[in-house]
Structure 1
Amino acid sequence: MKAEIRNSLYEQAKEWILEAGARIRKQMRDPLVISIKSNPQDLVTTVDEETERFLAGKIRELYPDHHLISEEGFGDNLNSMKGTVWLIDPIDGTTNFIHQRRNFAISAGIYHDGIGEIGLIYDVMGDCLYSAKKGEGAFKNEERLPQLREGAMLERSVLAMNNKWLIPNPVVQVEKMEELIRTVRATRTYGSAALEFAYVAEGIVDGYMTIQLSPWDIAAGIIIVNEVGGVTTNVFGEHVDILKKNSILVCNKKIHGRIVNDFILEGKK
């Protein structure tokens, strides 16, 4: 993608996402209509749906030749990343949105022929935008984020991971996850994959690993983390297929190999 096209697309996407965030904030005191999707932990609200409808409408009106992958049913059914593809999560962290009214984000990644060009993660209640354009660095609002620490050590690292790793799961033995937790300095859980990617990019946490994320959960974060020198793979250290669900490890390159080799592959089922 040419730089002038990328810049124009970035400015338009940023405008829409900030507008969508403002619309959500105006509805925060309104009663929520909540539905259960696949299970009681998989929730959706009318605000999720309205936000996705708003963004999808804007994209289709101005960029009718672009494609859309999204969570709440307004996207396309794609089997290829050819062309320009937007991957959108209108509210990443819906449970936080419902219970806390904070700690959720709008996430949008824009890819062209499979290459991540633009990433935007908007902390709606914090009014904080994490963003990146390919090859131009990553930013928190207008402040450029530094490259991730070269000298990171696993024993001094803070790792974002949820407690699903500590119950029987299809990925890795629980005992190896317990060993990993004992090895790192601390663990944290924030409840929004998009924000956890952003926090890795900012250096608030040194890594994030989770079970089974969808394309819209990770698309923006991958681009932003790439721009500060981080790495994103599946938990086995393999390339991420952006069109499929993946168990994800995103972190400082310094600790990536050790987590994969010493804990994931050693405990692989």
Structure 2
Amino acid sequence: MEHIWKQIDTYAKQWIKQAGTLIKQSFSKELLIQAKSNPNDLVTNMDREVERFLVGKIRETFPSHHIIGEEGFGEDLESKEGVIWVIDPIDGTMNFVHQQRNFAISIGVFENGIGRIGLIYDVMHDELYHAFKGHGAFMNDIELPKLEPVQVKEAVIGLNSTWVTPNKRIDKEVLTPLVRDVRGTRSYGSAAIEMAYVAAGRLDAYITMRLSPWDFAGGKVIVEEVGGTTTTLDGAPLDILTKSSVLIANPILHSEILNNYVKRDQ
């Protein structure tokens, strides 16, 4: 069975690089831009073209596998049984449209709900973050070390700017003390890149109120392979079939944020 997963890993790396080439070639063409759920939730013809390309490759090579994709070329799954590819063709579409940088292709491959392969390709920097469960995590050919313990006062954390939730679980009264106590905050506009940066030690934590499975699937596998903790802001496991909040960090920092900031008013 291991050789099959190595084969899947090899194909996934080839396809994500080929998808990156498609994106780079698109910069000389007309980009069609549409809004999805709101004017700031953008989708382009390239989002759809890249997802269509990846889905086509998967279905041709692994017809028994299931696919979840952001742009609707996958399936609407209710079960985590079997092998599931979770795809975000361009994570950070607004950055892609406005900056032509700070976006990534993200792929997570799961078996019965367990992450086996994670890939995040920062196309413009040609940085492929990848992990194969049990075999380490890498940035291109460089193996990423296990995450070192970091306390809040020493941490640089990635934060999403939207913090008020319907149940007021996280609000400005929680965010302000956390921002005050950390060494610094960053926002790159791409969950996949921010999760890759946590895995690589460029960020110490990433926190956001609401992500879809395709936003965090690839990063979850990579971060966990370097010893990071990935949960919701309730401390619950991330579910590849469910939208949720996300908190990822090394275990010590994760526990400190969860217990001293997120849950301190309960």
Shorter chain as denominator, the TM-score bin is: over 0.9
Q: How much is the aligned-residue C-alpha RMSD, in angstroms?
A: 1.0
User: Is residue 130–residue 140 contact of structure 2 (8 Å, CA) maintained in 1?
Assistant: yes
In the other structure, the counterpart of 2:157 is 159
User: Is residue 173–residue 267 contact of structure 1 (8 Å, CA) maintained in 2?
Assistant: no
User: How far did 1:173 drift?
Assistant: 2.6
In the other structure, the counterpart of 2:147 is 148
In the other structure, the counterpart of 2:99 is 100
In the other structure, the counterpart of 1:218 is 216
Mean CA deviation greater in 169-178 or 257-266: 169-178
1:165-217 deviation line (CA, Å, top 9, x unaligned):
2xx33331311110100010000000100011100000000000001100100
- In 1, Cα distance between equivalents of 2:80 and 2:261: 32
2:113 pairs with 1:117: no
Q: Which amino acid aligns with 1:99?
A: H
2:7 pairs with 1:11: no
User: Is residue 91–residue 191 contact of structure 2 (8 Å, CA) maintained in 1?
Assistant: yes
1:14–1:111 Cα change, 3 Å: same
Which of 194, 197, 205 is the matching residue for 2:195?
197
Which of 251, 261, 264 is the matching residue for 1:263?
261
User: How far did 1:267 drift?
Assistant: 4.2
- In 1, Cα distance between equivalents of 2:257 and 2:218: 23
- Within 5 Å, give how 1:178-257 maps onto structure 2: 178-257=176-255
- Within 5 Å, give how 1:76-95 maps onto structure 2: 76-95=75-94
- In 1, Cα distance between equivalents of 2:171 and 2:120: 32
Alignment length, in residue pairs?
A: 264
Q: TM-score, normalised by structure 2?
A: 0.97
In structure 1, runs of 5+ residues without a counterpart are none
1:43-74 deviation line (CA, Å, top 9, x unaligned):
10000000000111111111110000000010
- Within 5 Å, give how 1:18-57 maps onto structure 2: 18-57=17-56
Q: Which amino acid aligns with 1:261?
A: N
User: Is residue 172–residue 267 contact of structure 1 (8 Å, CA) maintained in 2?
Assistant: no
Q: Which amino acid aligns with 2:238?
A: V
In structure 2, runs of 5+ residues without a counterpart are none
User: Is residue 198–residue 223 contact of structure 2 (8 Å, CA) maintained in 1?
Assistant: yes
- In 2, Cα distance between equivalents of 1:35 and 1:252: 37
**SS of residue matched to 1:23:** helix
Which of 141, 154, 165 is the matching residue for 1:169?
165
User: How far did 1:262 drift?
Assistant: 1.3
**SS of residue matched to 1:163:** coil
- In 1, Cα distance between equivalents of 2:13 and 2:56: 15
User: How far did 1:266 drift?
Assistant: 2.2
Q: Which amino acid aligns with 2:103?
A: F
- In 2, Cα distance between equivalents of 1:193 and 1:114: 21
- In 2, Cα distance between equivalents of 1:138 and 1:169: 33
